[in-house]
Structure formats: C-alpha cells, structure tokens
Amino acid sequence: MSLSTQAYTTIKQKIITLQLQPSDVIDENALRTELGLGRTPIREALQRLDREQLVNIIPRRGTFVSEISMSDLPLLYETRAVLERHTAELAALRGTQAHWEDMTNVLAEAALAETAPDHANHMIEIDRRCHEIIYAAATNRFLTDTLIQLYAQSNRLWHLYLAKVDRMQQAVLEHQEILAALKSADSTRAGNLMEKHIRSFQAEIQAAIVSELKL
C-alpha cells in the first residue's frame, strides 16, 4: 500500500465515522503529525477525496469536509438502488464459489458482533464487506468504483443517525437471503432482494431525519 493510499484510507475513515465532521477544516499539518507522513501523500489523498466529493478543496481558503445535504438523500439512494440491483444481477451470473465462501464467512462474524461493545459499527462493517464482495463478483470496475463512492456517502449518513437507525441485524438477515440467491445464480431474485435492501435503508434514514426535525 502506497503512502498516499494509507493517508487516503485513514482520512476517509475519519470522515465516514464523523471523527471529522461535515464542514470541518482539514488541518494538513495535524494530519502529517498524526499519520507520520509527508506533505505529498496527504495532498494526494485529499485530492482523491475531493474527486469523491468527501472533501472540498477551495483555493486560497483551505480544505473542508463536505457537508451532508439531506436534499441529496433521495438522489443518493435512487442511484444506489439501480446500480446495486444491476451489480447483484451481474454477480449472480459471474460470481464464483470463492466469492460466496468469503461472504458466508463475513456473515458468520455477525453472531460475534452482536456482543461487541461497538455493536452497530461492527455490523455496518459487515454490511460494507458484503457489498464489496458482491461488487468484486460482478467484475465491472466502473460499477465498483462508483458504488464504493456512493457507499461512503451512505455510510456517513448511517453514522450521523446511528442512534436512531438500529436495523443492522436485519440488514445481515437480508444479506443472507441475497447470498442464497447469488449462490443459486438467480439473478432476478438477487437483484430484487438487493433493491429492497437499499430502499429499506433509505426509508429508515428518512424516518430518522423526520424524527429529528420534530424534536
């Protein structure tokens, strides 16, 4: 892993988990000290995050964590529902036994995650890994690159409303159904289940937003 990739991975995780909050200023000097890296890897990482719309680089002003616009929520999930469905359909046709063994092993970790102190974050990580296995099984790098970016934006929303969106155990059960369809090469069922999975998360997030607005 290159130094810029190390920086990218660490900074991205800080943004997704809200250690770096929306609209926060990115302190490059602090990151260099914390990560023990030079200026070039940090700047390359930030430029990559800017392309992924997780930060905004504004000349002569600085670099800021992108804000989370609730008006973008329907567009985000609308796009994910279409692309994730198609990806699941491709994965059902192109995936290998090795992919489904990997996914089975990831889902098996859910039982252990239930008793973990950081239960919700562990379950989100299991969800992410399942999606990335499906992306890999679809063998379309353009879809993969796009979906990883969209997933990161969704992940920020989940962390923002984590206390009010506690459906990760249900998400794991949904992945088990999806896995069964993938293993049987049932592309139609895999696509239907994946779209339902994505839209269920959208409904939960929207309900959490409405609940907060009423407070």
Q: What CATH number has the domain bearing residue 192?
A: 1.20.120.530
Q: What is the CATH number of the domain that holds 29?
A: 1.10.10.10
Q: Are residues 38 and 75 in the same domain?
A: no
Task: Note the pTM of the prediction, 2 decimals.
Answer: 0.88
pLDDT tens-digit profile of 140-171? 999 999 999 999 998 888 888 765 666 667 88
Backbone torsion region of residue 23, taken as left when φ is above 0, otherwise alpha when ψ lies between -120 and 50, otherwise beta? left
199 CB-near residues (< 8 Å, 6+ apart)? 77, 81
In tens, the pLDDT along 22-38 reads: 999 999 999 999 999 99
Residue 98 belongs to what domain range? 70-214
Cβ atoms 55, 26 nearer than 8 A:
yes
25 with 120, same domain: the answer is no
| pLDDT 10s digits, 10-66 | 999 999 999 999 999 999 999 999 999 999 999 999 999 999 999 999 998 999 999
pLDDT at 26: 94
The reply to whether 181 and 100 lie within a common domain is: yes
> Residues 80, 127: one domain?
yes
Written as one string, the DSSP assignment of 162-175 is TTT---HHHHHHHH
Q: What percent of the chain has pLDDT over 90?
A: 69
